[in-house]
Amino acid sequence: MKDRVQAVLDKIRPSLQADGGDVELVGVSEDNVVTVRLTGACVGCPMSELTLKGGIERILKHEIPEVVSVEAAH
């Protein structure tokens, strides 16, 4: 599962990098909750929650239906 999630994040990464940000996979729990860390310009950006839920989570759930949710690492 972790490899599948990483592959999808690798597809998303160029659009985040185009805006000066990035995403790194922290882990996938046994109940399929994905934890990621937003980095670069995404840190502290007012749109980061929208990027996380409306972008990354939506795409991951579409590509990997088993994903329950995506959470930000703190």
Query: Helix or strand or coil: residue 39?
Result: strand
**pLDDT tens for residues 2-56?**
999 999 999 999 999 999 999 999 999 999 999 999 999 999 889 999 999 999 9
The pLDDT value given to residue 74: 75
pLDDT, position 63? 97
Q: Where are the domains of the chain?
A: 2-72
Q: Which DSSP helix (H) or strand (E) runs through 71?
A: strand 69-72
Q: Rg for the chain (alpha carbons), in Å? A: 11
CATH class of 2-72: alpha beta
